[in-house]
């Protein structure tokens, strides 16, 4: 039962933290996306995974802004989420999954754009119509490999 509750709390936190980040007025904050939240079994700790669209410098600045906003964020969550007895300790963790996915996509695009020379591809052979070959039968009319059980 606790497992299902932690999933519900994770989704609730992800939604509320995303809304809170949209309200941060700091112009240095980049385009931040909350990609997921992992809550510990006892609901005491939460890892908030985020990604930032931009350069490494924008990512570092955004990371510092998010880390600095944790006390105010917890206070805001405490007021909004009355169903939680205790608001978990929040830690922001950068999620590089979107960057890795973009890199894989670039590699796949590069591979698909490379053409294979015609000499490297063997020409298809024309073997004519396909004929069925009847199976060989033994002297007693049975298929080969099957033992005759007539003598049992």
Give per-residue pLDDT as tens, 40-63. Answer: 988 999 999 999 988 889 999 999
Q: What are the φ/ψ torsions at residue 33 (nearest 5 degrees)?
A: -125, 130
CB 87 within 8 A of CB 40: no
Q: pLDDT band at residue 74, thresholds of 50, 70 and 90?
A: very high
Q: State which fold the 2-99 domain adopts.
A: GMP Synthetase; Chain A, domain 3 (3.30.300)
| Prediction pTM value | 0.64
Nearest to 8 by CA among 61, 57, 46, 51: 46
Half-sphere exposure of 61 (CA within 13 A, CB side): 12
List CB contacts of 118: < 8 A, sequence separation 6 or more: none
What CA–CA distance (Å, rounded) separates 106 from 111?
A: 9
What CA–CA distance (Å, rounded) separates 103 from 111?
A: 12
Q: pLDDT band at residue 1, thresholds of 50, 70 and 90?
A: very low
In this model, does residue 97 exceed pLDDT 50? Answer: yes
Exposure string of 89-126, with b = 16+ CB inside 10 Å and e = fewer, is ebebeebeeeeeeeeeeeeeeeeeeeeeeeeeeeeeee
Order of strands across the sheet with 89-94? 31-39, 45-53, 89-94
Half-sphere exposure of 4 (CA within 13 A, CB side): 1
Per-domain boundaries in the chain: 2-99
Provide the pairing of β-strand 31-39 with 89-94. unpaired
Q: What are the helix (H) ranges across 36-69? A: 56-68
Please report the pLDDT score of residue 115 as a whole number: 60
């Amino acid at each position: 039962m606790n497992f299902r509750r932690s999933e519900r709390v994770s989704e609730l936190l992800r939604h509320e933290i995303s809304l809170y980040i949209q309200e941060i007025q700091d112009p240095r904050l980049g385009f931040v996306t909350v990609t997921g939240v992992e809550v510990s079994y006892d609901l005491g700790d939460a890892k908030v995974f985020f990604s930032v669209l931009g350069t490494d410098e924008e990512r570092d600045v955004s990371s510092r802004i998010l880390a600095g906003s944790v006390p105010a964020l917890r206070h805001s969550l405490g007021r909004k989420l009355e169903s939680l007895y205790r608001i978990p300790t929040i830690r922001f963790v950068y999620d590089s999954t979107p960057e890795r996915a973009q890199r894989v996509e670039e590699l796949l695009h590069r591979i698909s754009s490379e053409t294979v020379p015609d000499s490297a591809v063997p020409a298809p052979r024309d073997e004519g119509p396909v004929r069925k070959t009847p199976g060989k039968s033994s002297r007693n009319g049975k298929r080969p490999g099957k033992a005759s059980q007539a003598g049992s």
